[in-house]
Amino acid sequence: MVLAGMVDAADTSPIAGIQNGWAYAIPAHGFFNILIDIWSGGCNPELYYALPVLFAYEISSFLLSIGVCRRAHYCFLTEEKAEKEFQDGIMTALEAREKELSPPERIRTEDGAEEEASDLAGPA
């Protein structure tokens, strides 16, 4: 993490002298200034703008992540509902196919003849 921040900060730190104040809003520049303050033992501290910039990025990232998590949650619920409907459709099709393929139930009557159970039930 520190190495990635250093590489990112090294890429943007020369920009600070060229741009008119926009480079201070880059989080890598603030991170680089904090590292310089730590390494130099507090010589030429510039934490008064580096820390608020990084804090603002932290807060905004947190608020944006709430929206992303909410959207992912609703996407998951939609996917789960579609999967359940798909499984219900499969179960319905299997039950219909089972009924179609199963032999009709036969009942022996008193005289020894076999009749289908549906014939004995009468009209519905």
- Residue 37 pLDDT greater than 70, yes or no: yes
Residue 109 lies in a domain: no
Q: The domain containing residue 55 runs over which residues?
A: 2-100
**pLDDT-above-70 percentage for the chain:** 63
pLDDT at 45: 82
Asked if residue 88 is part of any domain, the answer here is yes
Specify if 112 maps to a domain: no
Residue with tokens 């359940």, as numbered in its chain: 84
> Mind giving me the DSSP string for the chain?
-HHHHHHHHHHHTTHHHHSSSGGGGSHHHHHHHHHHHHHTTSSS--HHHHHHHHHHHHHHHHHHHHHHHHHHHHHHHHHHHHHHHHHHHHHHHHHHHHHHHSPPPEEE-TTS-EEEHHHHH---
pLDDT at 90: 95
Strand partners, 115: 107
Q: What is the domain count for the chain?
A: 1
Strand partners, 116: 106
- Percent of the chain whose pLDDT exceeds 90: 23
Cα 108 to Cα 111, 118, 121, 124: the distances in Å are: 8, 13, 14, 22
Residue 30 confidence class, pLDDT cut points 50, 70, 90: confident
- Is residue 61 a part of any domain in this protein? yes
Average pLDDT, the chain: 77
Q: Distance between CA 28 and CA 25 in Å, rounded? A: 9
Q: Token match 């009709």: residue?
A: 104
Cβ atoms 47, 34 nearer than 8 A = yes
Residue 121 belongs to some domain of the structure: no
pLDDT given for residue 13 in this prediction:
53
Convert the pLDDT of each residue in 46-94 to its tens digit. 888 888 888 999 999 898 889 889 999 999 999 999 999 999 999 999 9
Q: What integer pLDDT is reported at residue 21 of this predicted model?
A: 65
Q: Which amino acid is at 16?
A: A
In a domain, 124, yes or no: no
